[in-house]
Structure formats: structure tokens, C-alpha cells
Amino acid sequence: MGSTWGGDTQLIRTVSRTFRPERPAAVAAVTREGDGTATAGASGDETFEIGSISKAITGMLYRDAAERGVVSPTTTLRELLPLDDHGQVGSVTLHSLAIHRSGLPGLPPGMRPLSRNVRFLLRGENPYGDSLAELLDQTRNVPVGAPRARYSNLGFQLLGHAVAAAEGRTFAQLLHDSMGVEFSAPSRESDLRASDVIGHGRWGRPAAAWIGEAVAPAGGIRASVVTMRDFLRSVIDGTAPGLSALEPTSDFTPQVGIGAGWITVSHRGRPITWHNGSTGGFSSWIGVDRAAGVGLAVLSARHSPVDRQGFRLLTELTTGTNPNEGR
């Protein structure tokens, strides 16, 4: 049974045509006419796992540090993290990590990702509960390949922790100091709060929270829809730190640009800068049409992609037309 949408009246009308969630969900929208939120099965201050949208935020933290001269694009991991005896990984640059061209694998073989994935699939276990110390140990002698485009969770984990080390903070502290205490990055079960929504797997089973110190920069951040609305407003207004992260500096694939974590594509003739996220019990999407001054975030407490809803809602808010009409 689906949940009923509540919140901003106009946004509810728009969202209800496209998105009929069966688990808690929320949408934040920012336009030149105003900002709004809509929620179903959750309140505006309950938090969702935002998955790999964490990478977009980590990219902004990196670019903010670079703009202030704390780090540079050519800074290597070895200069910031204790990796002197870890092999080639220490020579990887921050810039290559930010654009997924570091040559690092998606995950370190040392964390035994296959066996963890099996336990996740069979028992719903959290596959990402490692500490930073454990992550660094797993990178020992990790293979570094050619600098081609390759999406890497490991790369963004190391990027976020390296930038935090350069700032003299933990990643969670840097996140709070730069982006606001409304964002959270729980590292232990005891860090979870009553306001943290429980996620659900693809078939509706409650899912373990994906928490852990190591994974935070790549996929461990939580946020409420109100937090995402305010974040989007700061991006559209140009007041968010590290906004240069949204500017494409390289091709990720043909016709797909990448900045520091953020992806840019042409959608219905308009440049859209976006990212998505997926964890064991959540899916998410964020996108901005910077030329139109419109931003949108979709949060869902179910492991089922919401990219389609995100792009359609952003198009409708930007153009005032329903892209589903006539189909």
C-alpha cells in the first residue's frame, strides 16, 4: 500500500503524478518561485541514507579545500594519510580520485567484497562497517591500474578522509563544520537516532543501516528532506562551499562530463548536473538545472532506483510540462 504525500501543495500535485512510493519517501524542490518539500510516510526532519550522493558532497569538500589552498589537485594520498608502506596507492592524486580516474578498483580486494556481498544478499548484513584504520590496512598493495574512467567507492573513501586529514579533522567533523550539523555520518549502531528512517530492500524486507567510518565519504551520509532542500538552495544561490565541484573538468564517458564527483549530462536539451545513490535499504537522486535555477532531491527508504522520477520531476519543474504526457 502506498503512502499519502503531505507538504507543499503545489509540489504534492507535481510529485503525485510521477512517484507513488510504497515505503517512506521525500522530495525537496528549489525553484525561482520558491522552495518546498513533500513527504510520504516520514516527517520532514527524519533522515534517509543518501548513498553515493555522499560522493557529490565529498567532491565539494575537496574543491573547497583546494580553493583555500589546504590541498591541491596534485596532492597525493601519501602526503595526507599514513600510506608510506602501502605501495602505489600512496602516489594517487586527489584530482584523479575526484574524477574517478585514479586507477583504483571499485573496492579494495582486502575487504573481501564478494563474501560481504553474499552475506548482504543472504542475511541483509551491512557490508561497510569498517573503521578508517581498517580501510587503510585494506589498501596495502592494492593494484593501481591505468588512469581510465572507472567508478570507485574506494577512491572517494580515500579522497574524503585525505581532505579531512589535511583539515585536521575526521570526515564527520569536516562534514559538520563545512556543510552543517544537519548532515550526519554515523559510524556505529549507537550513533543512529530515533529520527533515522529504517530502509527496506527491494522485496520489502527491513535492511540493516549502511554505517561505518570508512564508507562515509563515498556512501555513508544521512540527511533529511529539509536538509536537502536547504543544501539545494545553497547550491542554486551560489553560497555552498566548493561549488566548482559541479563544473565538468573531464569526460567520464562519451557525452557525460564529470567534475569532482558530480555528473553532467544533456537531458531533453538541457545540461543537468546530478548524482544518484543506493544502499541496502535506500535509493536517492539529486539534480540541478543551474541555468534555470532549479534543483531537486528524491529520497526513498527502499532499494529501488529513483533516477527516472528525479529526471522527470526536474524536467517538469524546469519547463512546466509533464514529460509523461503524450506517452
3 state SS for 64-84: HHHHCCCCCCCCEHHHCCCCC
Tell me, yes or no, whether 35 lies in a domain: yes
Is pLDDT at 149 greater than 90 in this prediction? yes
Is pLDDT at 297 greater than 90 in this prediction? yes
Q: Which three cell numbers stand for residue 225?
A: 528532506
Could you tell me the pLDDT band of residue 321, with boundaries at 50, 70 and 90? low
Q: What DSSP element (H or E) covers 276?
A: strand 270-278
Tell me, yes or no, whether 63 lies in a domain: yes
Is pLDDT at 157 greater than 70 in this prediction? yes
Q: What's the pTM value of the predicted model, to 2 decimals?
A: 0.95
CATH of the domain at 304: 3.40.710.10
Average model confidence (pLDDT) across the chain: 94
Tell me, yes or no, whether 94 lies in a domain: yes
Average pLDDT of span 151-176: 98
Read off the pLDDT of residues 223-251 as tens digits, 9 standing for 90 and up: 999 999 999 999 999 999 999 999 999 99
Tell me, yes or no, whether 208 lies in a domain: yes
Is pLDDT at 320 greater than 80 in this prediction? no
Tell me, yes or no, whether 324 lies in a domain: no
The domain total for the chain is 1
Average pLDDT of span 130-144: 95
Could you tell me the pLDDT band of residue 55, with boundaries at 50, 70 and 90? very high
Q: What is the DSSP pairing of strand 250-253 with strand 283-289?
A: unpaired
* 253 to 15, 104, 231, 290: CA distances (angstroms): 31, 17, 28, 21
CA distance 185 to 54: 10
Q: What is the pLDDT of residue 327?
A: 41
Read off the pLDDT of residues 264-291 as tens digits, 9 standing for 90 and up: 999 999 999 999 999 999 999 999 999 9
Is pLDDT at 322 greater than 60 in this prediction? no
CA distance 212 to 179: 19
* 202 to 210, 220, 277, 281: CA distances (angstroms): 15, 19, 14, 8
Q: Is 24 strand, coil or helix?
A: coil
CA distance 14 to 298: 13
Average pLDDT of span 83-88: 93
Q: CB–CB of 86/140 below 8 Å?
A: yes
Read off the pLDDT of residues 91-122 as tens digits, 9 standing for 90 and up: 999 999 999 999 999 999 988 888 888 888 88
Tell me, yes or no, whether 66 lies in a domain: yes
Q: What is the pLDDT of residue 232?
A: 98
| Domain containing residue 273 | 5-319
Tell me, yes or no, whether 48 lies in a domain: yes
Average pLDDT of span 76-83: 98
Contacts 24+ apart (CB under 8 A), 18-22: 18/309, 18/312, 18/313, 18/316, 18/324, 19/298, 19/306, 19/309, 19/313, 21/300, 21/302, 22/204, 22/302
Read off the pLDDT of residues 22-36 as tens digits, 9 standing for 90 and up: 899 999 999 999 999
Q: Is 41 strand, coil or helix?
A: coil
Is pLDDT at 3 greater than 80 in this prediction? no
Tell me, yes or no, whether 327 lies in a domain: no
